[in-house]
């Protein structure tokens, strides 16, 4: 080390105490910021003045006024400490995982989003994606959730909505049931998803029977589940024929664990990625949205 270039500075504690007192124009406020006593701050300022051999404050009862030398010293100290704080914040932002909460239905979270989270963490190691699951619409206020995958027509006031993929609702069942034509439903147990009834145009067995022209089907009978995942499990177990979103059962349809023996297919709604208009330029939101959009594009290929 070249000693001729070594900095000769007073103790850092004395500079911090002086800068805080000058900024607040108060020893008491400086002490509160630094988590020390006012006496300790006064001691550090006097120590700095002794080291420099210069008075930095004109002291009056309950008032502090910088001397000309104090004002000259304060400006670069203030700028320096501000620069330190900004640099530390930038470093912490890069190194500390940032959290983003996404809201969606329990079934979509379990069947579509969760299997892909490993890839998300690999692509964005410093960003945590947290899940909020509910069939109710969650507030995108930054507390409950930041972004959401919603099911509907793509119209939510104050939100940007980007379509991920259309939904296809169709009858599916285990091959063990040997269901081959729509008329076979008259001898089978129907599996229902209760949450569909909350939609304006629900994709229920009643709607499907109307579209299929099978008026003799008792569309109210059968097994009712509030969670689509449970309905899927029941269908896999051969407990009946379920009216399900084919987007959520791609692996089972590809492997043959579940079959879609016939139509028609109901496709009233789609899945949308939504977030507040006010966060359209938020890099955290945009990174998550870009990744989810890519995943949706890869999974939207026809079966």
181-220 tens-digit pLDDT: 999 999 999 999 887 767 788 888 999 999 999 888 888 8
Q: How many residues does the chain have?
A: 303
Question: Do 72 and 219 sit in the same domain of this protein?
Answer: no
Total domains, the chain: 3
Using the predicted structure, report yes or no on whether residue 143 has a pLDDT greater than 80. yes
pLDDT tens across 233-254, in order? 999 999 999 999 998 999 999 9
Question: Do 67 and 212 sit in the same domain of this protein?
Answer: no
Q: Is residue 126 assigned to a domain?
A: yes
Closest alpha carbon to 124 in 300, 296, 283? 283
Token couple for 26:
């108060």
- How far, in Å, are 9, 27, 68 from residue 24 at the CA level? 23, 8, 17
Strand pairing report for 169-172 and 241-245: antiparallel
Question: Do 73 and 211 sit in the same domain of this protein?
Answer: no
- Residue 197 is predicted with a pLDDT of 67
pLDDT tens across 251-288, in order? 999 999 999 999 999 988 899 999 999 998 888 898 88
Domain boundary among 64, 95, 126: 95
How far apart are alpha carbons 33 and 45 in whole angstroms?
Answer: 15
Would you say 236 and 174 are in contact if contact means Cβ atoms under 8 Å apart? Answer: yes
Using the predicted structure, report yes or no on whether residue 2 has a pLDDT greater than 70. no
Q: Is residue 263 assigned to a domain?
A: no
Question: Do 85 and 112 sit in the same domain of this protein?
Answer: no
Domain boundary among 74, 95, 116: 95
- Residue 268 is predicted with a pLDDT of 84
Question: Do 154 and 275 sit in the same domain of this protein?
Answer: yes
Q: How confident is the model at residue 297 (pLDDT cuts 50, 70, 90)?
A: confident
pTM of the model: 0.65
SS3 annotation, 73-91:
HHHHHHHHHHHHHHHHHHH
- Per the structure, the complete domain to which residue 25 belongs is given by 9-95
Question: Do 80 and 227 sit in the same domain of this protein?
Answer: no
Please calculate the CA angle 224-229-234 and round it to the nearest 5 degrees.
60
Using the predicted structure, report yes or no on whether residue 303 has a pLDDT greater than 50. no
Question: Do 158 and 137 sit in the same domain of this protein?
Answer: yes
- CB neighbours of residue 182 within 10 Å: 18
Closest alpha carbon to 250 in 193, 182, 163, 165? 165
Using the predicted structure, report yes or no on whether residue 36 has a pLDDT greater than 70. yes
How far apart are alpha carbons 263 and 259 in whole angstroms?
Answer: 11
pLDDT tens across 157-186, in order? 999 999 999 999 999 999 999 999 999 999
Using the predicted structure, report yes or no on whether residue 301 has a pLDDT greater than 80. no
Find the CATH number of the domain harbouring 160.
3.40.190.10
Mean pLDDT over each residue of the chain, to the nearest integer: 88
Token couple for 113:
């989003």
Question: Do 22 and 138 sit in the same domain of this protein?
Answer: no
Question: Do 227 and 276 sit in the same domain of this protein?
Answer: no
Using the predicted structure, report yes or no on whether residue 89 has a pLDDT greater than 80. no
- Residue 120 is predicted with a pLDDT of 82
Q: How confident is the model at residue 302 (pLDDT cuts 50, 70, 90)?
A: very low
């Amino acid at each position: 080390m070249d000693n001729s270039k070594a900095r000769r500075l007073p103790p850092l504690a004395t500079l911090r105490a002086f800068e805080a007192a000058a900024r607040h124009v108060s020893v008491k406020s400086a002490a509160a910021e630094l988590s020390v006593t006012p006496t300790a701050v006064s001691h550090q300022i006097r120590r700095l003045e002794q080291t420099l051999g210069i008075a930095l404050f004109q002291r009056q009862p309950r008032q502090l006024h910088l001397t000309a030398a104090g004002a000259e010293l304060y400006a670069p100290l203030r700028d320096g400490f501000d620069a330190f704080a900004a640099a530390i914040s930038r470093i912490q932002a890069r190194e500390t995982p940032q959290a983003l909460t996404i809201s969606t239905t329990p079934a979509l979270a379990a069947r579509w989003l969760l299997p892909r989270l490993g890839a998300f963490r690999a692509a964005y190691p410093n960003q945590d994606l947290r899940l909020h699951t509910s069939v109710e619409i969650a507030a995108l206020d930054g507390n409950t959730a930041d972004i959401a995958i919603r099911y509907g027509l793509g119209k939510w006031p104050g939100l940007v909505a980007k379509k991920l993929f259309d939904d296809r609702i169709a009858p599916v069942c285990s091959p063990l049931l040997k269901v081959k034509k729509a008329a076979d439903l008259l001898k089978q147990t129907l599996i229902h998803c209760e949450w569909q009834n909350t939609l304006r145009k629900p994709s229920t067995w009643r709607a499907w029977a109307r579209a299929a022209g099978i008026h003799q089907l008792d569309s109210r009978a059968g097994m009712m589940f509030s969670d689509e995942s449970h309905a899927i499990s029941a269908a896999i177990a051969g407990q009946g024929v379920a009216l399900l979103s084919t987007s959520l059962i791609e692996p089972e349809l590809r492997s043959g664990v579940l079959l879609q023996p016939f139509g028609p297919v109901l496709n009233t709604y789609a899945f949308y990625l939504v977030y507040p208009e006010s966060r359209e330029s938020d890099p955290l939101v945009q990174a998550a949205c870009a990744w989810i959009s890519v995943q949706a594009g890869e999974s939207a290929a026809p079966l």
